Amino acid sequence: MAQIRAGLVGVTGYTGMELVRLLENHPVINLVAVTSRSDAGKKVRDIYPFMQGFPTGDLVITVPDAAALAKACDVVFLAVPHGVAMEMAAAFRAEGVAIIDLSADFRLRDVAVFQEWYKTEHAEPGLLQEAVYGLPELYADKIATAGLVANPGCYPTASILALAPALKNGFIDPDGIVIDAKSGTTGAGRKAVVGSLYCEVADSFKAYNLTKHRHTPEIEQELSLAAGKAVTLSFNAHLLPVNRGILATIYTQLKGGVSFDAVYDAYVAAYEPHPFVRVLPKGALPELRNVRGTMFCDIAMAHDPRTGRLIFVSAIDNMCRGASGQAIANANLMHGLPLETGLMLAPMVP
Amino acid sequence: MAQIRAGLVGVTGYTGMELVRLLENHPVINLVAVTSRSDAGKKVRDIYPFMQGFPTGDLVITVPDAAALAKACDVVFLAVPHGVAMEMAAAFRAEGVAIIDLSADFRLRDVAVFQEWYKTEHAEPGLLQEAVYGLPELYADKIATAGLVANPGCYPTASILALAPALKNGFIDPDGIVIDAKSGTTGAGRKAVVGSLYCEVADSFKAYNLTKHRHTPEIEQELSLAAGKAVTLSFNAHLLPVNRGILATIYTQLKGGVSFDAVYDAYVAAYEPHPFVRVLPKGALPELRNVRGTMFCDIAMAHDPRTGRLIFVSAIDNMCRGASGQAIANANLMHGLPLETGLMLAPMVP
Amino acid sequence: MAQIRAGLVGVTGYTGMELVRLLENHPVINLVAVTSRSDAGKKVRDIYPFMQGFPTGDLVITVPDAAALAKACDVVFLAVPHGVAMEMAAAFRAEGVAIIDLSADFRLRDVAVFQEWYKTEHAEPGLLQEAVYGLPELYADKIATAGLVANPGCYPTASILALAPALKNGFIDPDGIVIDAKSGTTGAGRKAVVGSLYCEVADSFKAYNLTKHRHTPEIEQELSLAAGKAVTLSFNAHLLPVNRGILATIYTQLKGGVSFDAVYDAYVAAYEPHPFVRVLPKGALPELRNVRGTMFCDIAMAHDPRTGRLIFVSAIDNMCRGASGQAIANANLMHGLPLETGLMLAPMVP
Amino acid sequence: MAQIRAGLVGVTGYTGMELVRLLENHPVINLVAVTSRSDAGKKVRDIYPFMQGFPTGDLVITVPDAAALAKACDVVFLAVPHGVAMEMAAAFRAEGVAIIDLSADFRLRDVAVFQEWYKTEHAEPGLLQEAVYGLPELYADKIATAGLVANPGCYPTASILALAPALKNGFIDPDGIVIDAKSGTTGAGRKAVVGSLYCEVADSFKAYNLTKHRHTPEIEQELSLAAGKAVTLSFNAHLLPVNRGILATIYTQLKGGVSFDAVYDAYVAAYEPHPFVRVLPKGALPELRNVRGTMFCDIAMAHDPRTGRLIFVSAIDNMCRGASGQAIANANLMHGLPLETGLMLAPMVP
């Protein structure tokens, strides 16, 4: 099969690191260029000694250069902070390169909403119209023909997959939803800050950014589309002393006349064609370790007749499914490959 | 000051272990007898090498014997499983010994509720009437004269302290409350089961017992009293890969016309006389490490105008505040000592 | 390519779990039978929910039956305790099935040494003669034609690979060697014992079995062969609060007249044909995370002119390289496949 | 009792944090001044929310000013980096303030050795003569009259206490000693660097600074004094994924004619007057959790007749016994208080 040449802008963060790991195992997409302003000139194995012995380990890191990457690559992954990504994306699109952007820059369809939550002007509102939201279970067809894919956030991936079928089918009240989400520390990025030091995170746990997390509008955007009406919900995040993983516990109200079994059966049916979403057997509950390092989104649900609550629990690996692995899944679709290509990974347990 | 002689029934579990640690530092209450069927004949330091060098380390463990303990002790802590505790409590009460029961056996005032949630007959419904619920901030006066104190559960301690003032003052809707609670693994006890092995818990996270946790009726009982009407809520638990600590994120609906500042000020006022409850500065959020090894319950709140949600976050150490430390606080009150005696511990951070 | 049918006796332990994970990704060897006395009748996904969605997840667990497995399988992995393995191996060999034994039963060539360290009679001294020690870098040729492979212990794998070239070349004094090894907690197995509970291991560290660890004679056996003379050394183990990995720090005395560069170059040369051993660049040191989930043995060395010490550090994943992955590597060799088949895995970092 | 007023220069690092915790519980020494250039003007509870509710939490942080501190304090703890400490110490000594320096600046008696290992000029060689090495078990008398105490390093504390009696008594060969030490991550300090991030340390383990650790000359200095001859040894450090604790496994050669029992008995006798050193029962081994948060140094030993090795294992809390707690113990001695004052803490297990 013809090999696909991939570039990675921003190799030094955790999502860049995960792209390196995952693409090493990909049978078709090959990493041919990686960039970093701070580490240009070094080999990948100099900064990532775990890549010694793999071809990618010997790649020389370069400074990002849109024209050069455009020549060398069929697809480019942008693993740079929001704000930076939008300008780079424009440069690449001008060269005709297919882009998968792992930042938040192209996820929100409404520029005003973006500017309200991110407190910054959007430099490329035109590109926003072109961008496709890269959640394969919802938008596989559009992704397949897209030139610019906005890779979903980690929390939104776990939240949207858990709630979309229930809202689409009208099983639950679209008002009053609470998402209580817990993330591993890779979610905080690889920046050297005191708050992310081992001794500040280990053996502890906390909530953060209550009521203000920027993934909120992204979740509301997609769930409003699923519900066919505006959904406003409470999304809140916590920091877990683990490297990877997101587990979201989601509290909804089951509508009168809807049975738990009907919901469960609808979920099984909805995700039957989607191998990366695993609806767990009734009574089972997700655990982070069962999805670690993989593309799976494990979903369970429980009904509480005392309160009428229908509770969803969903778990993903924030680095793989919630970022880099999903980016590769999108690249697969954009190049006509089966979604699972190179990504059907069994988790390492324990 | 006259020393108080304490006995501990059930030294081998985590709450027993914590009682040993805390009583070693207590200036008035001395541990004079510890029991365990499986380890009788050994010294405490044989099973707990960390107690070498302390007087308690040289105590010889005995088999539990109500008559003998009654003679030797002014107060006895029961750190045995529910079901076992109720029968022991009866034996001790017959001997006139003051009892602090760390099990669930005397927490629920309504026998029928106990039997529904614990799926077992209550052997001592009479004692249930005598028992006082040992949450010092709510019941200090009754505890001071009690012969049998039902030490609260860990989750209820964190949940009730966070919600009682809001319900008492009518600030929030008593319906629709969601408590999303996360606990360290000591909460699972010290029984040798595969699910509690290091390699099954580390680097993972999960929900458990969704909609069915036995601490639910205990929380509802006390919050109904606070609200002056029946409160039915959704309480759900998760297992954290840390040794100690509970953090509860609690979702409520702020009533119309109530301002966030009014709620905040009421909490500051309500807990001003109670040094073990720390209402955090506005904007700050609890972290498990800030309460580890201590009696503190750290409480914060945040308001989300978009959804009307008033979110409470409370954190305690499940072993100290949520069990053994609270038991000692109750013993302090029962013996006319200041609540804080031996318990004003600064946390070890990190 | 013709598929190879594999059986796994003892699916419920950590090495069984790891074999399931690794064989799921193997392109040629397929798991067709898994056994467990305690879980027979269940599907693999019932006990390992992380395998939902994979063909192996639907395999039904059976009771071990040598005759049935002999018919169904080309090769059988024994992941059962020592003592049990030797009798099973005999039964399988009688049926002509190729065996890879992950226990210690066939690792020591000298029955007397086995009996001294394991305090038990060896039931199959005859099979011991037939067994090949399954360290591919040392015995690939013999493994290729073996019917019974004794899969090396985890500590011996890390220790022997680090020291064999130095001893073979006479670079270091064969007397006085100290191996200070540290292992993740999967090394303690999946038995429900208090000492392996999360709360007994987390946030702690200890040495265990000082001077008496049963991997000592296995290491001495192979290093004596490398040195061409009897090697007696001090091997000591510690328990790390991590799931996986062994890091051994090995203290030797560099012989007079031997330069550090000569040793380093000899290691590079010795392991150049062996892709699973990575001699790190000078100055770099192994980290467990760089080998996690992989077949790599990362080796570094440092010379201390003040003391004459030549220090080796080697790191492996005790579950993959130190047990199940190495077992599959041996199966590859036994069936004429390239060593790396299905095993060239990039580590998941972080 | 007359209260002693203490100052703390450098409150923002981990040793400063630990001094705050420990002095809060001290019955005689009160923290009256804390300094930090970066956080001056804030209250202690602003940077350490865990101190809310304690008097120290309300202390206002100031910029360091020797003259002001000299007036306000009877003793000053220097918790600043080496190099900075030596100049501050001189300023304070000029004002007549008693100093306990937690840096390395005054630990090495020989200026040349200091300059060789620390690659910097020593600005105050005169003060070096005045300084007393603050290991209470060895130098209690000198500490009691000292004006400047050099608080020992964490690794040296664990190493010297384990080896001094054996060397003093001539039980072991002073040549060829190997110290393989493992430390929790607080040992790396609170600086924001990528290598200390949670996701870089968790679930991993590594050696660092092999053959070059700066605590080596400090250990050799004190052990040479104990042995009565120059001791050159191999000291090497590793990084554990835990917050606190050092465990050192120390390999020595038992001299001919010396029995293990004689060594053991000599250790029991040597440390009988020293309550902070616990010689464990024969067969027991130290665990980090047994000393966490305490002043204990737990010591065990094992003899291997096969190799003649006498192995010592010692464990301390690097933050408490290895730094801040030991500093307070020294302050106790300098002010005529019993060594244990405010420091007889039972560990929190688990």
Parallel, antiparallel or unpaired: strands D4-9 and D75-78: parallel
What residues of chain C lie within 8 A of the CB of B203, using their CB? Answer: 243
Chain D interface includes C288 (CB < 8 A): yes
Chain A stretch 213-242, residues whose beta carbon is closer than 8 A to a beta carbon of chain B: 232-234, 236, 238, 240-242
Q: How confident is the model at residue C217 (pLDDT cuts 50, 70, 90)?
A: very high
**What tokens does D147 get?**
């004006």
pLDDT value at D183 more than 90:
yes
> What residues contact residue B129 under an 8 Å CB cut-off, 6+ apart?
none
- DSSP-assigned beta bridge partners for residue B29: B4
Q: How confident is the model at residue A1 (pLDDT cuts 50, 70, 90)?
A: low
pLDDT value at C113 more than 80:
yes
Contact of D34 with D49, CB cutoff 8 Å: no
> What residues contact residue A85 under an 8 Å CB cut-off, 6+ apart?
A78, A101, A102, A103, A105, A106
Comparing CA positions, the residue from B238, B245, B176 lying closest to residue B213 is B238
pLDDT tens-digit series, residues A309-332: 999 999 999 999 999 999 999 999
> How many whole angstroms separate alpha carbon A17 and alpha carbon C244?
21
Contact of C87 with C121, CB cutoff 8 Å: no
Contact of D23 with B345, CB cutoff 8 Å: no
Q: Do A197 and D202 touch (CB under 8 A)?
A: no
C-alpha separations of A145 from A104, A125, A140, A330 in Å: 21, 20, 9, 11
Contact of B269 with B131, CB cutoff 8 Å: no
Residue A78: what are its φ and ψ, rounded to 5°? -100, 110
Sheet holding D178-183, edge to edge: D206-208, D234-239, D178-183, D246-253, D309-316, D297-304, D277-279
Q: Do B348 and D48 touch (CB under 8 A)?
A: no
Question: What integer is the mean pLDDT of B161-181?
Answer: 98
At A274 the three-state DSSP class reads coil
Residue A111: what are its φ and ψ, rounded to 5°? -55, -35
**What tokens does C7 get?**
């059986």
Comparing CA positions, the residue from B114, B118, B127 lying closest to residue B86 is B127
Candidates B208, B289, B309; nearest CB to A203 = B289
Other beta carbons within 10 angstroms of residue B191's beta carbon come to 12
**What tokens does B229 get?**
């009407």
Q: What's residue A8's pLDDT?
A: 98
C-alpha separations of A300 from A22, A61, A260, A267, B237 in Å: 27, 42, 12, 10, 15
pLDDT tens-digit series, residues B111-131: 999 999 999 999 999 999 999
What residues of chain B lie within 8 A of the CB of C198, using their CB? Answer: 185, 196-198, 200-202, 241, 243
What residues of chain A lie within 8 A of the CB of B176, using their CB? Answer: 176, 307
Q: Mutating which of A15, A199, A288 best tests the D interface, going by the most D Cβ atoms within 10 A?
A: A199
Q: Positive or negative CA dihedral for A131, A137, A138, A139?
A: positive
> Residue D149 is inside which H or E element, if any?
strand D148-150
Contact of A188 with D189, CB cutoff 8 Å: no
Chain D interface includes C116 (CB < 8 A): no
What residues of chain B lie within 8 A of the CB of A242, using their CB? Answer: 203-205, 241
**What tokens does C284 get?**
């770099």
| DSSP assignment of A159-189 | HHHHHHHHHHTT-B-SSS-EEEEEE-GGGG-
Other beta carbons within 10 angstroms of residue B45's beta carbon come to 20
Q: Which residues of C214-223 are buried (b: 16+ CB within 10 A; e: fewer)?
A: bbbbbbbbbb
**What tokens does D45 get?**
């509870």
Contact of C306 with D232, CB cutoff 8 Å: yes
pLDDT tens-digit series, residues B20-51: 999 999 999 999 999 999 999 999 999 999 99
pLDDT tens-digit series, residues D40-49: 999 999 999 9
| DSSP assignment of C8-77 | EE--SSHHHHHHHHHHHT-SSEEEEEEE-TTTTTSBHHHH-GGGTTSGGGGPBPB---HHHHHHH-SEEE
pLDDT value at D78 more than 90:
yes
- In this prediction, what percent of chain A has a pLDDT beyond 90? 99
Tell the residue number behind the tokens 């040349």, with chain if given.
D112
Contact of C327 with C14, CB cutoff 8 Å: no
**What tokens does D106 get?**
């005054």
> How many whole angstroms separate alpha carbon D188 and alpha carbon D179?
19
Task: Give all chains having 3 or more CB-to-CB distances under 8 Å with chain C.
Answer: A, B, D
pLDDT tens-digit series, residues D116-133: 999 999 999 999 999 999
What residues of chain A lie within 8 A of the CB of C278, using their CB? Answer: 52-53
Parallel, antiparallel or unpaired: strands C4-9 and B98-101: unpaired
Question: What integer is the mean pLDDT of A202-227?
Answer: 98
pLDDT tens-digit series, residues A297-315: 999 999 999 999 999 999 9
Query: How close does chain A come to C15, measured CA to CA in Å?
Result: 10
Q: Do B52 and D243 touch (CB under 8 A)?
A: no
Q: How confident is the model at residue C2 (pLDDT cuts 50, 70, 90)?
A: confident
Q: B113, exposed or middle or buried, with CB in 10 Å at 0-12, 13-18, 19+? A: middle
> How many whole angstroms separate alpha carbon D311 and alpha carbon C212?
12
Contact of D155 with D215, CB cutoff 8 Å: yes
Comparing CA positions, the residue from C48, D296, D34 lying closest to residue B50 is D296
Q: What's residue C1's pLDDT?
A: 66
Q: What's residue D2's pLDDT?
A: 85
> What residues contact residue B43 under an 8 Å CB cut-off, 6+ apart?
B57, B58, B59, B60, B61
Q: Where are the alpha helices (DSSP H) in D145-215?
A: 154-168, 198-201
Contact of C93 with C147, CB cutoff 8 Å: yes
pLDDT tens-digit series, residues C145-164: 999 999 999 999 999 999 99
Contact of A192 with D192, CB cutoff 8 Å: yes
Residue of D nearest to C250 (CA): D180
The model's pTM: 0.98
Angle subtended at Cα D172 by Cα D170 and Cα D177, rounded to the nearest 5 degrees: 130
Q: What's residue B1's pLDDT?
A: 66
Q: Do C350 and A14 touch (CB under 8 A)?
A: yes
Angle of helix C154-168 relative to helix C216-227, nearest 10 degrees?
20
For chain A, the 3-state helix, strand and coil shares in percent, each to the nearest 5, are 35, 20, 40
Q: Do B199 and C193 touch (CB under 8 A)?
A: no
Candidates C14, C200, C203; nearest CB to B199 = C14
Contact of B188 with C188, CB cutoff 8 Å: no
> How many whole angstroms separate alpha carbon C261 and alpha carbon A213?
54
Contact of A341 with A325, CB cutoff 8 Å: no
The whole-chain average pLDDT of chain A stands at: 97
pLDDT value at B262 more than 70:
yes
Q: Do D50 and B349 touch (CB under 8 A)?
A: yes
Q: How confident is the model at residue B2 (pLDDT cuts 50, 70, 90)?
A: confident
Q: How confident is the model at residue C310 (pLDDT cuts 50, 70, 90)?
A: very high
- A138, amino acid identity: L
> What residues contact residue B312 under an 8 Å CB cut-off, 6+ apart?
B162, B163, B166, B248, B249, B250, B252, B299, B300, B301
Q: What's residue D1's pLDDT?
A: 66
Residue B68: what are its φ and ψ, rounded to 5°? -65, -45
Query: How close does chain B come to D277, measured CA to CA in Å?
Result: 9
Parallel, antiparallel or unpaired: strands D178-183 and D234-239: parallel
Task: Give all chains having 3 or more CB-to-CB distances under 8 Å with chain D.
Answer: A, B, C
Q: What's residue B187's pLDDT?
A: 97
Chain D interface includes B51 (CB < 8 A): yes
Is A154 tagged catalytic?
yes
